[in-house]
Amino acid sequence: MLKPLFTKEEIDKTVRGLASSIEKDYDDEEILFVCILKGSFMFMSDLIRCIKNPSKIDFMRVSSYGNAMQSKGEITITKDLEEDINGKNVMIVEDIIDSGLTLKSIKEILLERNPKSLKICALLDKRSRREVEIEGDYVGLTIEDGFVVGYGIDYAEQYRGLPEICVVEKSVRDKK
């Protein structure tokens, strides 16, 4: 069963708030938004429509479990950026910060490419689940532990098209 958590209106308001904070901080500078696929595609498309700065977009996809030999926390890039980020203002756009392991690794990889600045914008933050020290620079909504879907976010590739964000009740997950 899906239990509604955030309505479409609450998400819209949150995205507009994040966009206005980003606009304030960057004046008229160009920003390269890096969407972490797949979960962040809807969030990023709404976010950039609210930001007036000149902007570019790019996409990156990583897998946390490249193969059985890799320990948790090591990521494999399965789709890399096409843009050279050297000297650019880069904004990583992520759907959810959970343990923080994914973003910590992505941040390390991108910092080696010498961006002018590198910030994180996350729609949702499960702060209590953090395993490594990492913070979003622009964070929308803090949530408790629990598995959420909708607004681009999936459970086994399902539910990405829901306009609102819901919690997946444990009984649904157990049936899989």
Both tokens of 103, joined, read 């973003």
Q: If DSSP codes are grouped into helix, strand and coil, which group holds residue 170?
A: helix
Of 46, 98, 125, 174, which residue is the catalytic one?
98
Strands laid side by side in the 31-37 sheet: 76-79, 55-63, 31-37, 89-97, 117-125, 138-142
Residue placing its CB nearer to Mg ion in the complex, 2 or 37:
37
152 forms part of the interface with Mg ion (CB under 5 A) = no
| Contacting residues toward ligand IMP, per CB under 6 A | 39, 94-103, 147-148, 153
- Nearest distance in Å: CB 78, ligand IMP: 13
Please give the structure tokens belonging to residue 31.
Answer: 């920003």
Interacting stretch for Mg ion, rule CB under 5 A, among 17-25, 35-43, 54-62, 136-144? 35-43
Out of 5, 19, 22, 39, point to the residue binding Mg ion (CB under 5 A).
Answer: 39
CA torsion, points 160, 166, 170, 175, in degrees to nearest 10? -40
Active site residue 98: yes
Which residue's CB comes closest to Mg ion?
39
